A and B are shown apart, each in its own frame.
Chain A
Amino acid sequence: MRYPFPVGKSDFIQGDEAIARAAILAGCRFYAGYPITPASEIFEAMALYMPLVDGVSIQMEDEIASIAAIIGASWAGAKAMTATSGPGFSLMQENLGYAVMTETPIVVVDVQRGGPSTGQPTLPAQGDIMQAIWGTHGDHMLIVLSPSTVQEAFDFTILAFNFAEKYRTPVVLLTDAEIAHMRERVYIPSPEEIELVERKLPASEEEAKLPFGDPHGDGVPPMPIFGKGYRTYVTGLTHDERGRPKTVDAEVHEKLITRIFRKILDHKDEIISYEEFMLDDADVAIVSTGIVSRSAIRAVKILRERGVKAGLLKLNTVWPFDFDYIEELAERVRKIYVPEMNLGQLYHLVKEGANGKAEVELIAKIGGEVHTPMEIVERVVG
């Protein structure tokens, strides 16, 4: 297959561009979106590339329609993605819940900017962490990934598609305006270097009759896509294993929702990824995610030079969250610092994980600038 960009070599590109190229290499052939800063370049790249790879790129009337269209495309068999920023992500929340409930594999990129409301369209923030995890209503479970470099934006996009297909779930890729517009050297692998996961399809008529069952015991039902003669009914209402609405049956509701939780949580060791930096002998831990981790790495180096045994835990997966691991970490260190570009979102998760075993302190920064390493250092040394 011919690609509209060089593969098997490095290129110097923006984060948004990296996400678009990664999506195409991951097999994404349907993109629907609505322009919004700082996510528009993803759409613009998709608009340029998609027709050349016989894929679809369409500008919808709003963000609600964009996520609706990719869910439809996914049921028609395509790997599908949309990208947006805070206000658009808010509009997508209802249908994100629909994708959770109907177990539709989709990838939603949220390029974070300052909020609430229209806020700071051109400046980065990390204010959508809670929205990504808990934005839609009702009990639900999905996967949220958070890159800190343009290379990671590329790599995690492929990972996002693989998780979406493997677990039949929406996956949110949380980046920010800084990563979106920053240019960095990125290695774009050739297709044979990439391991791709495809959704499980029904192996028999019997399996196809249970589009929301658990025939393999892993919590992930095979997905009978439309047009194959299975005559599948998909509804956002509480439904039984066959997909029939059972809205007032407590047992059916509990079984469905707990399986949707279980299919992710039972595989959390495979889904959750983090990187440790000088954490082995650390006395002070910094826990961060996304763009702030870059400053945090530098801060750890400076702190070590000054004789403070500091280490960094960089979270690549924001959700599901490894509360047990944070507790273990809290037992090892004296104090945990959480620098983040909001007034405390990751902080609450870390604090809950630490479970009182170590003091947890938030280093909040809002307004559109990433923490400088010295801002973190100064807080740690007091």
Chain B
Amino acid sequence: MYMKSAYEIRDKYLRKDMLPTIFCPGCGIGSVLQFTLRAIDDLGLNQDEIVWVSGIGCSSRVPGFVNFDGLHTTHGRALAFATGIKLANPNLKIIAFMGDGDAAAIGGNHFIHAIRRNLDVTVILINNFTYGMTGGQVAPTALKGLRGTTAPYGQFENPFDIAGLAVAAGANYVARWTVFNYLQGINSIKKALSKEGFTLVEFLSPCPISFGRRNRMKTSPELIRWYQKITVPLAKAKKMKPEELEGKIVIGEFADRDRPGLVREYREYIKRAKKMMGWEE
């Protein structure tokens, strides 16, 4: 596969006056951003017809760095804002760049309902098990025993499996990778951006400063090695016993279906309304 140089991607899509980014050394958000921009570039999508939406947190700063229309909203609410943008102008393609706390905790309700409606949006989700920007508190994705500033003795709650939640809620496309799986990641984002309805690509992404440091993994390579250890590809996981999968995270493509998206459903609804009122045949 031919890959354009990172400089080319940077020059074409980033707002240079906004650089440098706010991201810490070793952070994985830049990598995922690069995957997303490469996917847009490979698909030849029109930069003027894409809107980036985000909530609050490190990953939500991404729309500020890319040269597109962007709405940086309130904590957890990105998908609710996106619903308005998409239905008011269905010609716009929407990318929601979110964090795990943003999407699954404060925004959990918006997340499942956007999926239930099959809102036409591609969610790129940075899962680093922590609230990075606010200083390393535990997120609802944090595996049991992981430490954060609000669970200094190790997380005692059960974690959310975000991809699993999305599949159950009815998303058209769901995949999960680590930032280390860059080819699969780019391909998944391309697939997600090409599909109608709700699509989600989740990335396990290193946060050495806020998360790793408190969990005996001070550098990004240590975190990536840990991801390699705890992740299991879907095909392999299918052959494993539940007890063997305890504490592991399955990666791969979890859903790929073509239910009609919200825009299409609403267009049909308008037709039905006019017919029922006798306005149209």
Q: Which residues of chain A have a CB within 8 Å of any CB of chain B?
A: 2, 4, 29-30, 32, 51-52, 54, 56, 58, 60-62, 64-66, 68-78, 80, 94-95, 98, 226-237, 244-245
Q: In the assembled complex, which residues on chain A have CB atoms less than 8 Å from the CB atom of B49? A: 227
Which residue on B lies nearest to A95, using beta carbons?
Answer: B74
Stretch from B236-244, B249-257, B265-273 forming part of the interface with A: B265-273
Q: In the assembled complex, which residues on chain B have CB atoms less than 8 Å from the CB atom of A95? A: 74, 77
Q: In the assembled complex, which residues on chain A have CB atoms less than 8 Å from the CB atom of B86? A: 72, 76
Alpha-carbon distance between A29 and B89 when the two chains are bound, in angstroms: 11
Q: In the assembled complex, which residues on chain B have CB atoms less than 8 Å from the CB atom of A233? A: 15, 63-64, 69-70, 72
* Inter-subunit contact B70/A69 (CB<8 Å): no
* Inter-subunit contact A234/B89 (CB<8 Å): no
* B68 on interface, CB distance cutoff 8 Å: yes
28 residue pairs bridging A and B, Cβ less than 8 Å apart: A4-B277, A30-B84, A32-B84, A51-B272, A51-B273, A51-B274, A52-B273, A58-B87, A61-B80, A64-B77, A71-B81, A72-B80, A73-B87, A76-B51, A76-B92, A94-B74, A98-B73, A98-B74, A227-B91, A228-B48, A231-B68, A232-B70, A233-B15, A233-B69, A234-B71, A237-B72, A244-B18, A245-B64
* Inter-subunit contact B89/A226 (CB<8 Å): yes
Q: In the assembled complex, which residues on chain B have CB atoms less than 8 Å from the CB atom of A245? A: 64
Q: In the assembled complex, which residues on chain B have CB atoms less than 8 Å from the CB atom of A231? A: 47-48, 67-69
* Inter-subunit contact B48/A229 (CB<8 Å): yes
Q: Which residues of chain B have a CB within 8 Å of any CB of chain A?
A: 15, 17-18, 47-49, 51, 53, 63-64, 67-74, 77, 80-89, 91-92, 109-110, 113, 266, 269-270, 272-274, 277, 279
Q: Taking A231-B48, A233-B72 as contacts, is the C-beta distance between A64 and B80 under 8 angstroms?
A: yes
* Inter-subunit contact A227/B51 (CB<8 Å): yes
Q: In the assembled complex, which residues on chain A have CB atoms less than 8 Å from the CB atom of B81? A: 68-69, 71-72
Which residue on B lies nearest to A54, using beta carbons?
Answer: B270
Interface of B is mostly: helix
* Inter-subunit contact A72/B113 (CB<8 Å): no
Contact with A68, one of B63, B73, B92 (Cβ below 8 angstroms): B73
Q: In the assembled complex, which residues on chain A have CB atoms less than 8 Å from the CB atom of B67? A: 231
B76 to chain A, nearest CB (A): 9
Q: In the complex, which of the residues B63, B83, B270 has the most CB atoms of chain A within 10 Å of its own CB atom?
A: B83
A165 to chain B, nearest CB (A): 15
Q: In the complex, which of the residues B64, B86, B87, B279 has the most CB atoms of chain A within 10 Å of its own CB atom?
A: B87
Instruction: Known pairs A226-B89, A227-B48; list 17 more (Cβ under 8 Å).
Output: A30-B87, A54-B270, A60-B80, A60-B83, A61-B113, A68-B81, A72-B85, A74-B84, A226-B69, A227-B89, A230-B69, A233-B64, A234-B70, A235-B72, A236-B72, A244-B18, A244-B64
Which residue on A lies nearest to B116, using beta carbons?
Answer: A61
Which residue on B lies nearest to A237, using beta carbons?
Answer: B72
Q: In the assembled complex, which residues on chain B have CB atoms less than 8 Å from the CB atom of A65? A: 77, 80, 83, 109-110, 113
Q: In the complex, which of the residues A60, A72, A95, A237 has the most CB atoms of chain B within 10 Å of its own CB atom?
A: A72
The 10 closest A-B pairs by CB, nearest first: A72-B84, A68-B80, A51-B273, A69-B84, A73-B84, A65-B80, A76-B88, A73-B88, A72-B81, A235-B72
Which residue on A lies nearest to B49, using beta carbons?
Answer: A227
* Inter-subunit contact B77/A58 (CB<8 Å): no
Q: In the assembled complex, which residues on chain A have CB atoms less than 8 Å from the CB atom of B70? A: 232-234
Alpha-carbon distance between A72 and B109 when the two chains are bound, in angstroms: 18
* Inter-subunit contact B69/A232 (CB<8 Å): yes
Alpha-carbon distance between A4 and B276 when the two chains are bound, in angstroms: 13
Which residue on A lies nearest to B18, using beta carbons?
Answer: A244
Q: In the assembled complex, which residues on chain A have CB atoms less than 8 Å from the CB atom of B88? A: 29-30, 56, 72-74, 76-78, 80
A254 to chain B, nearest CB (A): 21
Which residue on B lies nearest to A245, using beta carbons?
Answer: B64
* Inter-subunit contact B83/A2 (CB<8 Å): no
Which residue on B lies nearest to A2, using beta carbons?
Answer: B279
Which residue on A lies nearest to B90, using beta carbons?
Answer: A76
Alpha-carbon distance between A71 and B113 when the two chains are bound, in angstroms: 18
B176 to chain A, nearest CB (A): 24
Alpha-carbon distance between A165 and B69 when the two chains are bound, in angstroms: 21
A169 to chain B, nearest CB (A): 17
* Inter-subunit contact B64/A69 (CB<8 Å): no
B249 to chain A, nearest CB (A): 28
Alpha-carbon distance between A72 and B67 when the two chains are bound, in angstroms: 19
Which residue on A lies nearest to B81, using beta carbons?
Answer: A72
Q: In the assembled complex, which residues on chain B have CB atoms less than 8 Å from the CB atom of A58? A: 83, 87, 266
Which residue on B lies nearest to A97, using beta carbons?
Answer: B74
Q: In the assembled complex, which residues on chain B have CB atoms less than 8 Å from the CB atom of A237? A: 72
* Inter-subunit contact A73/B77 (CB<8 Å): no
